[in-house]
């Protein structure tokens, strides 16, 4: 399966900001059209089970997608029975694929108790299988990483809206104190608005958000200062997740990793794997050999395995599979030699131990075969049980093919993450942060944050005044007057000390829009912990529902995050809990 991803070399993300770029940088990958007629012919001809056993196909996203496409067409015709039947065929063909279970959970419904239980059962099965399916898990991690990043950015923008609405009047008042004759309030407000606008266009988005968090530091209350520091740390952390998140989302661009995943899943290789020059190593030779061995072209398979062995002479994977080729050629002595070498290279290699027992059985030495089988079972009984199941399903393949493990796939993905600085990832990182490595970025973010805090603390000593809780005007020394031994606000005559102690009994109308966001009202009430416990998960789910489908790969084409009932239920719960908490606090006060 070849994968297409659009490049972004022509985009100038500094001009429009990274957030816009993130919504459109990935599109769904597509399947090769030339592969589909053959699969369609096998599916429609009723030869699927025979063909699966003949080629030892344990999994195939291509076949599953073909069957589910037929199921979707049946649903469009109103034939739900056929749709369920096609989905169950997909489960029979690829028992480890979560896709058919997601499909069945979507169409089961919630009208009766039985349907509800069926939906939950299918959804639970899909989730369980997703954790053991590399593309599902890696794509999910990538989507969640991007979603978390966008959720934290949205939370920061909400916080900035809050502090801007609350503290701009104090900024204006401060400038009026020092430039009474020169500047009018409207002029000061325009200047204050101009500074963030200039920072937005001159700085990468990360530095704009970081500096903006400290723009009102000297006016912040203690709870708001804690919130700003927490958001700054979340911004740094989520920014560092960008490269691994996008690398996992675009991992199918690596032909080597794609072929390794197919090999690990036992998926039939539709065409001979091809690799870029940078990817040609022993793994590439091993995968080419596995392809030809699957086609029973043992001459080419042995040639590629020998080529891989020259590059990696101590690989138990290669030695075991060379033993398999000798086994299928009835050269049992040579097969035994290769299996023994595989065990010498990796003593706990269950496949080689198991295959030796099969060689003994093939030679009619059943006693030795049984003893070796018992020895193998002691090493790893679960794997042996799985091997027996494979042999019963594919009797023409009595020996076990050694394949890449899930750990090998994650190691290759980690290698991609390390090497991702020369592609689209590099452009995204530079657009968001600038031309800094991750270490330079963290160091600069830390020292800049400490510098901004230090300057703000020093500068706050020259900031005069608090906000009157009655008229919401500043109450600095110039805004107070003494009357009968009481200090009162010049604007409304309220007692300054009582007013400050009272804090905010009434809220300014300009912060009312925040009450429409989960956590927004808690932010106004100075509850930062609860604020971001509600706001970040809500934005995260909202962003996934709106944009998650853009990040799905073609093999997941029958999923729909925007129609995911659990995500919607959790988002509504967060919204409802936020409103209930505000109502409860109002009743209690």
CA distances from 544 to 149, 237, 540, 562 (A): 11, 19, 6, 7
Pairwise CA distance, residues 581 & 589, whole Å:
12
207 CB-contact burial (10 Å; exposed 0-12 / middle 13-18 / buried 19+): middle
Residues 6+ apart with CB under 8 A from 171: 188, 192, 216, 219
Residue 417: closest CA among 204, 249, 237 = 249
Residues 6+ apart with CB under 8 A from 572: none
Q: Which of 1.25.40, 1.20.5, 3.40.50, 1.10.3470 would CATH assign to domain 60-95+98-132? A: 1.25.40
Residues 6+ apart with CB under 8 A from 83: 71, 72, 74, 75, 107
pLDDT of residue 462: 62
Backbone angles phi, psi at 487, to 5 degrees: -95, 120
Residue 424 tokens read as 């689209």
pLDDT of residue 1: 34
Fold of 263-414: 1.25.40
Pairwise CA distance, residues 402 & 319, whole Å:
9
- 60-95+98-132 and 263-414 agree in CATH topology: yes
Pairwise CA distance, residues 225 & 38, whole Å:
63
Residue 230: closest CA among 529, 15, 576 = 529
pLDDT of residue 469: 61
Residue 471: other Cβ atoms inside 10 A: 16
pLDDT of residue 180: 58
What are the residue ranges spanned by the domains of the chain?
A: 60-95+98-132, 263-414
Q: How many CA atoms lie within 13 A of 404 on its CB side?
A: 25
Q: How many CA atoms lie within 13 A of 374 on its CB side?
A: 5
Cβ atoms of residues 174 and 463 within 8 Å:
yes
Complete DSSP assignment for 7-21: --TT--HHHH-HHHH
pLDDT of residue 477: 63
Pairing of strands 480-483, 486-489: antiparallel
Pairwise CA distance, residues 122 & 103, whole Å:
9
Pairwise CA distance, residues 46 & 61, whole Å:
18
Answer positive or negative: Cα dihedral of 215, 217, 219, 221: positive
Task: Please give the chain's pLDDT, 589 residues, in tens.
Answer: 333 233 333 333 333 333 333 333 333 333 333 444 566 677 766 778 888 887 788 888 888 888 998 898 898 898 989 999 999 999 988 998 999 998 898 887 766 777 788 888 988 999 899 988 999 899 889 999 999 999 999 999 999 988 888 887 777 777 776 665 556 666 766 777 777 777 778 889 999 898 888 888 877 888 888 888 899 999 999 999 988 998 898 888 888 999 999 999 988 777 788 888 877 889 999 999 999 998 889 999 999 999 999 999 999 999 999 999 999 999 999 999 999 999 999 998 899 999 999 999 999 898 999 999 999 999 999 999 999 988 888 888 899 999 999 999 999 999 888 876 555 777 888 889 888 888 889 899 889 888 888 877 776 666 666 666 666 666 666 676 766 666 777 667 666 665 554 444 456 677 778 888 888 888 888 888 889 999 999 999 999 888 888 888 766 767 778 777 788 888 889 989 988 888 888 777 6
Residue 283 tokens read as 């793994």
Pairwise CA distance, residues 105 & 386, whole Å:
28
């Amino acid at each position: 399966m070849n994968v297409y991803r659009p490049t972004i070399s022509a985009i100038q993300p500094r001009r429009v900001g990274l957030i816009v770029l993130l919504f459109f940088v990935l599109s769904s990958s597509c399947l090769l059209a030339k592969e589909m007629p053959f699969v369609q012919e096998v599916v429609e001809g009723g030869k699927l089970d025979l063909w699966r056993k003949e080629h030892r196909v344990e999994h195939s996203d291509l076949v599953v997608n073909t069957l589910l496409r037929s199921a979707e067409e049946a649903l469009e015709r109103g034939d739900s029975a056929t749709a369920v039947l096609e989905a169950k065929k997909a489960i029979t063909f690829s028992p480890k694929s979560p896709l058919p279970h997601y499909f069945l959970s979507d169409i089961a419904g919630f009208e009766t108790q039985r349907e509800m239980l069926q939906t939950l059962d299918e959804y639970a099965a899909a989730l369980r299988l997703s954790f053991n399916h590399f593309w599902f898990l890696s794509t999910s991690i990538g989507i969640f990483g991007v979603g978390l990043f966008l959720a934290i950015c949205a939370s920061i923008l909400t916080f900035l809206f809050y502090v801007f609405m609350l503290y701009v009047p104090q900024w204006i008042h401060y400038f009026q104190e020092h430039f009474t004759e020169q500047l009018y309030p409207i002029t000061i407000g325009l200047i204050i608005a101009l500074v963030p606008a200039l920072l937005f266009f001159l700085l990468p988005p990360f530095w704009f958000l970081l500096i903006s968090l400290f723009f009102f530091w000297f006016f912040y209350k203690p709870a708001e200062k804690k919130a700003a520091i927490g958001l700054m740390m979340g911004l740094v952390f989520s920014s560092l997740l960008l490269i691994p998140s996008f690398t996992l989302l675009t991992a199918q661009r690596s032909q080597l990793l794609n072929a390794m995943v197919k090999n690990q899943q036992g998926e039939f290789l539709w065409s001979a794997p091809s690799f870029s020059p940078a990817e040609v190593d022993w793994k590439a030779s091993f995968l080419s050999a596995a392809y030809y061995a699957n086609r029973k072209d043992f001459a080419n398979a042995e040639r590629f395995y020998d080529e891989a062995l020259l590059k990696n002479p101590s690989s138990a994977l290669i030695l075991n599979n060379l033993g398999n080729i000798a086994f299928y050629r009835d050269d049992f002595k040579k097969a035994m030699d290769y299996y023994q070498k595989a065990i010498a290279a990796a003593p706990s290699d269950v496949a080689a131990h198991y295959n030796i027992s099969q060689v003994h059985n093939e030679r009619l030495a059943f006693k030795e075969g049984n003893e070796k089988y018992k020895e193998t079972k002691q090493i790893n009984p679960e794997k042996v049980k799985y091997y027996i199941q494979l042999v019963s399903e594919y009797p023409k393949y009595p020996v076990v093919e050694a394949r890449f493990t899930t750990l090998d796939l994650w190691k290759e993905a980690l290698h991609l993450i390390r090497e991702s600085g020369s592609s689209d990832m590099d452009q995204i990182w530079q657009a968001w942060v600038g031309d800094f490595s991750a270490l330079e970025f963290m160091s600069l973010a830390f020292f800049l944050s400490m510098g901004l805090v230090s300057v703000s603390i020093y500068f706050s000593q020259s900031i005069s005044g608090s906000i009157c809780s009655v008229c919401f005007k500043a109450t600095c020394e110039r805004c107070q007057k003494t009357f009968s031994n009481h200090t009162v606000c010049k604007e409304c005559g309220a007692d300054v000390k009582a007013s400050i102690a009272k804090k905010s009994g009434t809220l300014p109308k300009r912060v009312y829009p925040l009450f429409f966001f989960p956590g927004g009202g808690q932010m106004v009430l100075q509850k930062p912990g609860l604020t971001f416990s509600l706001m970040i998960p809500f934005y995260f789910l909202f962003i996934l529902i709106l944009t998650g489908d853009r990040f799905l790969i073609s093999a997941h084409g029958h999923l729909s995050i925007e129609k995911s009932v659990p995500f919607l239920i959790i988002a509504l719960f967060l919204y409802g809990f936020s409103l209930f908490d505000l109502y409860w606090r109002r009743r209690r006060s």
